[in-house]
Amino acid sequence: MKHILALITIIIYSTVSSPLFAQQDKFIEDYLERLENSRKYLILVAEMMPEDNYNFGATPESLTFAQNLLHIGFAIDWHSQSLLGGRESREWKTDTIYKVADKSKKEMIATIDKTFDEAINLIKDFDTTELNDELDYFGLTRSKRQIFSLLADHITHHRGQMLVYLRLNGLVPPRYVLFQ
């Protein structure tokens, strides 16, 4: 009787839990596709702007094209490696990886590409049982699932500014790529 009860418990658990785990795995799979598309589009945008215009900003208070690009990198690193991955956060004031300084256009694009690689590798191995874990996000309580969305929104926000900068410099941005 104990064996039959144990078998029934296993069957019920696997019937209920398999679809839940499959949905979570699908979430990560879909997110990785979106992140990869976002990377391709961002790099295309970064490549379009002539290096001479990387210091262009719409207003004196605005981030420049280059600063927007590396700010995206810093945010990708922070959201993925620190918030999702648990690594200690980089300090914006002392960080040199995501500061424009004397970096060339080629170096900045390589930095962004590497940052996307690191984020994608971390997310591929993300433990989906942590999606509902909560943490502090600028004084607000957010789940790790929400952090995925916040990261994607942040990339889109700053890339949108970069698209406007292309237009303000007489360039036609690349055609929008869906699902990013």
Say what the pLDDT of residue 18 is: 45
Say what the pLDDT of residue 163 is: 98
Q: Higher pLDDT residue, 7 or 2?
A: 2
Say what the pLDDT of residue 151 is: 97
Q: Rounded to 10 degrees, what is the CA torsion of 142, 128, 91, 165?
A: -80
Is 65 exposed, middle or buried (CB count within 10 Å of its CB: 0-12, 13-18, 19+)?
A: buried
Q: What is the pLDDT of residues 9-35, one digit of tens each?
A: 556 555 554 444 444 579 999 999 999
Tell me if 166 sits within 8 A of 56, measured CB to CB: no
Average pLDDT over residues 136-144: 96
Q: What is the pLDDT of residues 87-125, one digit of tens each?
A: 999 998 899 999 999 999 999 999 999 999 999 999 999
Say what the pLDDT of residue 12 is: 58
CA distances for 94 relative to 9, 90, 98, 99, angstroms: 54, 8, 10, 9
Say what the pLDDT of residue 69 is: 98
Say what the pLDDT of residue 152 is: 96
The mean of the pLDDT values for the chain is 90
**pLDDT reading at 5 higher than 80:** no
Q: What is the pLDDT of residues 147-176, one digit of tens each?
A: 999 999 999 999 999 999 999 999 999 998
Tell me if 80 sits within 8 A of 123, measured CB to CB: yes
Instruction: Return the DSSP state at 136.
Output: E
- Say which CATH topology domain 26-168 has: Four Helix Bundle (Hemerythrin (Met), subunit A) (1.20.120)
Helices (H), 55-130: 65-77, 105-124
Tokens of 75: 């945010």
Average pLDDT over residues 127-148: 96
SS3 call for 87: coil
**pLDDT reading at 38 higher than 80:** yes
Say what the pLDDT of residue 19 is: 45
- Pick from 58, 95, 104: nearest CA to 73: 95
Domain parsing of the chain, residue ranges: 26-168
Based on C-alpha coordinates, what's the Rg of the chain? 20
Say what the pLDDT of residue 22 is: 44
Average pLDDT over residues 46-62: 97
SS3 call for 2: helix
